[in-house]
Structure 1
Amino acid sequence: MRIAYQYRLRLTTAQQTTVDAWLELCRRQYNYRLAERFNWWQQNRCDVNACPLICYLPELKDKPDFYSQKRDLVNSKVLFPEYKELPSHTLQDVIARAEKAFDRWLSGDSHGKRSGKPRFKGQGRFRSIGFPDLAKAEHSHGRFIQLPKIGKVKLILHRPLPDGFKVKTAAIVKKVDGYYLTLSLQDSSVPILTPDIPGIENTIGIDMGLITDTGEEVSIPQPYRQAEKRLKQVQRSLSRKQKGLKRRKKALKRVAQLHLKVANQRKDFHYKIAKSLLNKGKHIGHEALNIKGIARTRMAKATHDAGWGQFLKILSIKAERAGLMAIAVNPNGTTQDCSACGQKVPKTIQDRWPSCPHCGCELDRDHNAAINIRNRAVGHPVLKAQEMPDGMPGVTEKPAQPSDPRRLYAMPAF
């Protein structure tokens, strides 16, 4: 089992200077190794439909790979002696990151999905350095950890390391509010849990509202919309500052701090909701939404503020560790189909509490969708009301108070 814990660092002034200098050197090394690969690609590529029959072809160059660039680090240290201050494995990790970014753009990942063309890192854009060989060294000293060529660094141990887990790698990450240490922990003795077969009794369906198949609804925090007014003020102040001045750097830091706060609030909410769902001890069915497609519509701001992709990723990882499953189902028709009889009941976005003309079932549209999602997750497209177990929602009466009016005008968000 492999997990990652992140702790806040309390570095001395000398250690902060060292880390900042290393980040700058790693940034230059990353750009140089990426440029080597781009030069090879540009000089060796040839358009078949634009190549004449008689032409001069220069000698093809060997493709730079991880091992050839790693051997070239000796020359880099001779030309630039400051690289001798960095651990060798840290520089090798920079080359591995450049190779991964380039190969995913050129060839794609294991699923054949290609990423965008990697860009060169500008000043201040390289924010993490890795220590892949931390497992070989003595690293545990209470609230201190020994890092190569830096020494003991103090960290805030807000939660203890799990018993039996060994520290494999570490990485220092620089954020706008300070420095953090990410530890990768491994324990091979932890058994792999085999989840049970999903069924009606041990599965929950959730609509991305967020509402479950039992009618439980969660209020939407919308952290970005709450911070929009303050963001507008600090960004306007930043636009007035002249480039190169200290005042602009301070204004830029205020903007970054506010964006970091919004991101932290959103992630904290996602973790709490995922934990509350998994504490029920049941599998979770959710919609396999085309998030990128929805983000191109007029609902883009609400979609990005919801952070659906991040939430579903957190939910999937936490479910796997709990021995459960997060099951993605086809969302087509989950809102239009009646959860009691399975008949299609056309409705618009304004129809928040529709009534089925075939069986008389009345449910909130998102509640109805959550039941359909659960049924699809367990392999039953339709479960009639009379076949549902006791305690499952069927035909209900319309409540006196309507649901949150925000759901009428905006895409539901977490």
Structure 2
Amino acid sequence: MRLAYQYRLLPTSSQQATLNRWLDMLRHQYNWMLADRFDWWESNRCAVNSCPLVCSIAQAREQPEYYGQKRSLVGLKQDRPWYKEIHSQVLQDMVKRVKLAFDRYLKGDCNGKKSGKPRFKGANRYHSFTYPQPSIDWIDGNKIELPKIGAVKVVWHRPLPEGFEVKSAILTHKADGWYVTLSLQDESVPEQTVDVVPDWDNSIGIDMGLEYFVADSEGDLIDYPRHLRAAESKQALLQQKRELRPKGSVAGARLNQRIARLHQKIARQRYQFHCETANLLLSKADVIFTEDLNVANMMKRCKPKQDTDGTFLPNGQAAKSGLNKSFADAGIGQFVNQILPFKAEKAGKQTIKVNPTGTSQHCCICLNRVPKELSDRWHSCSYCGNQMPRDTNSGVLIKKVGLGLASLKKARKPKGLEKPALYA
């Protein structure tokens, strides 16, 4: 079983300077190795039979690869002795990051999904480095002994589980300081296996939305606190003050830190709300049916509209931008795709994704289509007389579709019922 525990570090001023210096040197070498791979790829990616007949032939050189770039670290320390200050395994892990970023760009991950072209890391985009082979012996009381850095104080807000082996230690620089993430593994503890058979009694369906964060099939509605909206006025005030400061000034940098800490607080509030909501839902049922949502597509910008003379027409993006901010504030994607499945697996329970197509436009009782606009928040079926909140109706229908009790593709109007005026 693999777990990750994160703790806050309290380094001294000299230790903090060392950590920042390491991070900056690792970032520069990461960018250099990434540029070396890009240079070779741009020069040699074309096949011989696809090259133009008239071109300058560049001198062939060995392709940069993982082990070759690791061997180059020996010469790096000779040419730049200050890199000897960094622990050797931390440097080697930086080379592994370059390899993973480039492989995801060319080959994709284990599921075949490719990432975008890797970007060079600016000072605000390289935040962590890793000790790949730590030891439990590094921990001594309220301190952790980090090689070449020294004993750093740790806030042990919860004890480490017994019997686990420390597999890696990741040091991360956040807006409010440094943190260490210990990856723990215990081979004697088997991975959680879920063998729950869903039925009507041990399962619920949930519908995600913005009016209510969660509406389940039992009729319960959970609102979300809108943390970002609540902090908008404070955020705007800080940003206005920052714009009045000269660029690159110390005062501007301090205001940037305050803005970063504010966003970090919002993210933590949202994460805590998601965890509490997941625990509440898992206390009701062993199986949770959720919508298979693609939140990235839901937050896309509206397509531009042009008149015959090329003039751009209103396309509704002004209203869509507010909707996108609400989606980001709610964090639906993080909850459905990350937190809820993790909590369910840890509790020995299960989450199943259901195709959401039509779940908001059909009745959960008679399965007839009841068209509704986005502003219509009440479900009223003219066929069977079903009356309930729109989101609750969707939650019940998601549960039925997940259990195989309903199929919206075969939903038809019951015989003997006249077509209502809505369809006329």
Same fold (TM over 0.5): yes
**What amino acid is aligned across from residue 327 of structure 2 in structure 1?**
T
Aligned to 1:113: 113
Q: Residues 158 and 255 (structure 1 numbering): CA distance in 2 closer, same or farther, change over 3 Å?
A: same
**What amino acid is aligned across from residue 348 of structure 1 in structure 2?**
E
Deviation at 1:284, TM superposition (A): 1.0
**In structure 1, the residue corresponding to 2:173 is in which secondary structure?**
strand
Deviation at 1:351, TM superposition (A): 2.6
Aligned to 2:304: none
Q: Determine the C-alpha separation between the residues in 2 that align with 1:82 and 1:189.
A: 43
Q: Residues 228 and 80 (structure 1 numbering): CA distance in 2 closer, same or farther, change over 3 Å?
A: same
**In structure 1, the residue corresponding to 2:297 is in which secondary structure?**
helix
Q: Determine the C-alpha separation between the residues in 2 that align with 1:52 and 1:69.
A: 31
Are 2:249 and 1:245 aligned?
yes
Aligned to 2:413: none
Residue among 305, 318, 328 paired with 1:304: 328
Mean Cα deviation higher: 172-181 or 189-198: 189-198
Q: Determine the C-alpha separation between the residues in 2 that align with 1:221 and 1:172.
A: 31
Runs ≥4 in structure 1, deviation > 4 angstroms? 47-50
> CA contact under 8 A between 1:341 and 1:382: conserved in structure 2?
no
Aligned to 2:386: 361
Deviation at 1:290, TM superposition (A): 1.6
> CA contact under 8 A between 1:340 and 1:382: conserved in structure 2?
no
Aligned to 2:401: 376
Q: How does 1:34-183 map to 2 (within 5 A)?
A: 34-46=34-46, 51-135=51-135, 138-183=137-182
Deviation at 1:123, TM superposition (A): 2.4
Q: Determine the C-alpha separation between the residues in 1 that align with 2:4 and 2:94.
A: 20
How many aligned positions are there?
Answer: 382
**What amino acid is aligned across from residue 393 of structure 2 in structure 1?**
N
> CA contact under 8 A between 1:7 and 1:156: conserved in structure 2?
yes
Aligned to 2:240: 236
**In structure 1, the residue corresponding to 2:373 is in which secondary structure?**
coil
Q: Residues 49 and 234 (structure 1 numbering): CA distance in 2 closer, same or farther, change over 3 Å?
A: farther
Aligned to 1:275: 279
Q: Residues 55 and 376 (structure 1 numbering): CA distance in 2 closer, same or farther, change over 3 Å?
A: same
Alignment deviations for residues 210-267 of structure 1 (CA, whole Å, 9 cap, x no partner): 1111011112211111111111111111122212211111111111111111111111
Q: Determine the C-alpha separation between the residues in 1 that align with 2:36 and 2:122.
A: 17
Deviation at 1:141, TM superposition (A): 1.8
Residue among 299, 308, 330 paired with 1:295: 299
Deviation at 1:50, TM superposition (A): 7.5
**What amino acid is aligned across from residue 338 of structure 1 in structure 2?**
C
Percent identity, aligned pairs only, is 46
Aligned to 1:394: none
Q: Determine the C-alpha separation between the residues in 2 that align with 1:121 and 1:241.
A: 26
Q: Determine the C-alpha separation between the residues in 2 that align with 1:177 and 1:258.
A: 10
**In structure 1, the residue corresponding to 2:388 is in which secondary structure?**
coil
Residue among 202, 221, 224 paired with 1:217: 221
Are 2:183 and 1:184 aligned?
yes
**In structure 2, the residue corresponding to 1:371 is in which secondary structure?**
helix
Deviation at 1:330, TM superposition (A): 0.5
Aligned to 2:310: none
Give the alignment's TM-score, normalised by structure 2: 0.86
Give the alignment's TM-score, normalised by structure 1: 0.88
Q: Determine the C-alpha separation between the residues in 2 that align with 1:31 and 1:55.
A: 29
**In structure 1, the residue corresponding to 2:9 is in which secondary structure?**
strand
> CA contact under 8 A between 1:30 and 1:98: conserved in structure 2?
yes
Deviation at 1:324, TM superposition (A): 1.4
Q: Determine the C-alpha separation between the residues in 1 that align with 2:11 and 2:352.
A: 43
Deviation at 1:49, TM superposition (A): 10
**In structure 2, the residue corresponding to 1:363 is in which secondary structure?**
strand
Aligned to 2:231: 227
Q: Determine the C-alpha separation between the residues in 1 that align with 2:20 and 2:263.
A: 22
> CA contact under 8 A between 2:204 and 2:285: conserved in structure 1?
no
Are 2:357 and 1:332 aligned?
yes
Deviation at 1:382, TM superposition (A): 5.9
Deviation at 1:101, TM superposition (A): 1.1
Deviation at 1:365, TM superposition (A): 0.6
Q: Determine the C-alpha separation between the residues in 2 that align with 1:153 and 1:378.
A: 53
Q: How does 1:19-30 map to 2 (within 5 A)?
A: 19-30=19-30
> CA contact under 8 A between 2:194 and 2:350: conserved in structure 1?
no
Residue among 362, 374, 377 paired with 1:349: 374
Alignment deviations for residues 145-173 of structure 1 (CA, whole Å, 9 cap, x no partner): 22212222111111111122221110111
Mean Cα deviation higher: 80-89 or 120-129: 120-129
List runs of 5+ in structure 2 lacking aligned partners.
302-319, 409-424
Q: Determine the C-alpha separation between the residues in 1 that align with 2:220 and 2:47.
A: 58
Q: Determine the C-alpha separation between the residues in 2 that align with 1:260 and 1:131.
A: 25
> CA contact under 8 A between 2:379 and 2:393: conserved in structure 1?
no
Q: Determine the C-alpha separation between the residues in 2 that align with 1:155 and 1:129.
A: 17
Deviation at 1:184, TM superposition (A): 0.4
Deviation at 1:92, TM superposition (A): 0.8
Alignment deviations for residues 94-119 of structure 1 (CA, whole Å, 9 cap, x no partner): 11111111111122112221111111
Q: Residues 143 and 368 (structure 1 numbering): CA distance in 2 closer, same or farther, change over 3 Å?
A: same
> CA contact under 8 A between 1:24 and 1:124: conserved in structure 2?
no
Q: Determine the C-alpha separation between the residues in 1 that align with 2:16 and 2:396.
A: 53
List runs of 5+ in structure 1 lacking aligned partners.
384-414
